[in-house]
Chains A and B, each alone.
Chain A
Amino acid sequence: MEALIEKLKKEIIEALNLEDIEPEDIKADDPLFGDGLGLDSIDALELIVLLEKSYGIKIEDPKDGKKIFYSLRTMAEYISSHQKK
């Protein structure tokens, strides 16, 4: 799980162009949106694309996104439990 979280940090920084952010700046349990990294709705869409492109996971119900993308850990847990390939 921790290895996946570290991998996700780098992927998110690259996918969302977070150039002033270092992987160690992102804590596994901190919120990604709102007071956390301050991501916006377009970033949320990019995260959906990232899940599908890198992990083959398609989010069927957009309402699930709030829970899945709450933090790096919730993302990693979702990937671990849904990844097929």
Chain B
Amino acid sequence: MVSKDDITITGSCRITGNSAFLNGEPYFSSAEKEAFPVFMKALYKKVGPGYPKFYKMDPLTKLGFISAELLLTDNARTGLYPEQSRGIVLMNASASADVDRSFQKTIEDKEDYYPSPGLFVYTLPNIMAGEIAIRHKLKGENTVFILPTFSMEFLTDYVDLLFETQKVTCCLAGWVEVDDKDYDSLLLILEKGGKKKENAYKLPFTKDVLENLYKPD
């Protein structure tokens, strides 16, 4: 039987307000307050995954993808576990509303009615989870919850249940929210005890720790 005490955070990525933090340390920050697309492109160049499909993604998927990219480079942690039991649990408040609105603009004028296939494919938040799953071979349980705010209690309870019922052996989990100009994410790598390979970054998976990682600068 696994308790929450056995689950540890072995990686964290926080992105908001033109700054990205990896495992609590500043990773990248733009000098000036830039719009989300400009900041994301600069961060993509810094991370350098060489994945041109990134440019086709909607803003929500870009944020989730780049967060995962920072955390899962070379699958250093998730690679320790079987692909079929690597889970994803994501949460946000606006689902895919941001790209939904962009798509809506392509169909609202009957005289200029050209539905965009490239936008339509992202009009579900689960697509973000799918893109991450494909990229990093996370083939286990994957879920995206829509909640009014980042409920750390819900996240810890749900992930605990996944570990307890052995649905996952490691999990990428957290909050990824984009709505118009606002964006905000905290993504974590979670492992059961992290016993397979010690990791320098290791925090208990508790509400208090999550609040500390999520707090504004």
Q: Give A contacts to B, CB under 8 Å.
A: 16-20, 38, 42-43, 45-46, 49, 52-53
Residues of chain B within 8 A of A43, CB atoms compared: 118
Q: Out of B55, B115, B117, B121, which one reaches A17, CB within 8 Å?
A: B55
Q: Give B contacts to A, CB under 8 Å.
A: 41, 52, 55-56, 114-118, 121
Q: Are A45 and B52 in contact (CB under 8 A)?
A: no
The B interface, classified by DSSP as helix, strand, loop or mixed, is helix
Name the distance in Å between B167's Cβ and chain A's nearest Cβ: 31
Residues of chain A within 8 A of B52, CB atoms compared: 18-20, 38
Bound together, the chains give a CA A70 to CA B41 distance in angstroms of 30
Name the distance in Å between A20's Cβ and chain B's nearest Cβ: 6
Bound together, the chains give a CA A55 to CA B117 distance in angstroms of 18
Name the distance in Å between A14's Cβ and chain B's nearest Cβ: 11
Q: Are A46 and B55 in contact (CB under 8 A)?
A: no
Name the distance in Å between B108's Cβ and chain A's nearest Cβ: 15
Could you jot down 9 A-B contacts, CB within 8 Å?
A: A16-B56, A17-B56, A18-B55, A19-B55, A20-B55, A38-B52, A42-B118, A45-B118, A53-B114
The 9 A-B residue pairs with the shortest CB-CB distance, nearest first, are A45-B117, A17-B55, A19-B55, A53-B114, A17-B56, A46-B118, A49-B114, A42-B117, A42-B118
Bound together, the chains give a CA A53 to CA B107 distance in angstroms of 13
Q: Are A46 and B117 in contact (CB under 8 A)?
A: yes
Most buried by A among B115, B116, B121: B116
Q: Are A19 and B117 in contact (CB under 8 A)?
A: no
Bound together, the chains give a CA A46 to CA B121 distance in angstroms of 12
Name the distance in Å between B49's Cβ and chain A's nearest Cβ: 12
Most buried by B among A18, A42, A43, A46: A42
Q: Out of A16, A19, A20, which one reaches B118, CB within 8 Å?
A: A16
Residues of chain B within 8 A of A53, CB atoms compared: 114
In the complex, which residue of chain A has the Cβ closest to the Cβ of B41?
Answer: A19
Bound together, the chains give a CA A49 to CA B116 distance in angstroms of 7
Bound together, the chains give a CA A50 to CA B119 distance in angstroms of 14
Name the distance in Å between B122's Cβ and chain A's nearest Cβ: 10
Name the distance in Å between B197's Cβ and chain A's nearest Cβ: 35
Q: Are B114 and A17 in contact (CB under 8 A)?
A: no
Residues of chain A within 8 A of B114, CB atoms compared: 49, 52-53
Bound together, the chains give a CA A17 to CA B121 distance in angstroms of 15
Bound together, the chains give a CA A20 to CA B53 distance in angstroms of 10
Residues of chain B within 8 A of A52, CB atoms compared: 114
Known: A19-B52, A46-B118. 14 other contacts (CB 8 A): A16-B56, A18-B55, A19-B55, A20-B52, A20-B55, A42-B117, A42-B118, A43-B118, A45-B117, A45-B118, A46-B116, A49-B114, A49-B117, A52-B114
In the complex, which residue of chain B has the Cβ closest to the Cβ of A48?
Answer: B117
Name the distance in Å between B22's Cβ and chain A's nearest Cβ: 24
